Amino acid sequence: MLNLLKFKEKAEYEDARETSLSGAEAYAIYGKEVAGHLAKVGGAPAFSAGVESLRVGEVEELWDMAAIAMYPSRSAMVEMTSSPEYQASTVHRTAGLAGQLNIELVGPRGVWLKQQEANKK
């Protein structure tokens, strides 16, 4: 799953709690918790980086970050996102994000796939 992320300047929790967290800081809490949720279903965070510039194309505004989460299957992703533990973590995602695109990718190549194949041996 490719995630394109745009952060709020200041985190805004739905329960109106007071916080000094930025949107990026609130999302970082979510990201740390999600790593554990991913592990439970055989997935892993594979990559994340800040967006620096746009080289080709045009957009009104750049995303702040791109991240890739790897799942062993679509059913593993559904299992994770349906769990009460994961649902509890989403409060930080919602507080921190001004916008996001989640793009399902298929046919992974590279390091993560090689690690998965090695783990099966």
Query: What pTM was computed for the model?
Result: 0.84
How far is residue 19's CA from residue 49's CA, in Å, rounded to a whole number?
A: 25
How far is residue 58's CA from residue 60's CA, in Å, rounded to a whole number?
A: 7
Q: For 68-89, what is each residue's pLDDT tens digit?
A: 999 999 999 999 999 999 999 9
User: How many CA atoms within 13 Å lie on the side-chain side of 25?
Assistant: 9
Residue 84 in tokens = 């009460």
Give residue 10's pLDDT band: very low, low, confident or very high (50, 70, 90). very high
CB neighbourhood size of 12 (10 A): 17
Query: Is the separation of the CB atoms in 18 and 110 below 8 Å?
Result: no
For the domain made up of 2-120, the CATH class stated in words is: alpha beta
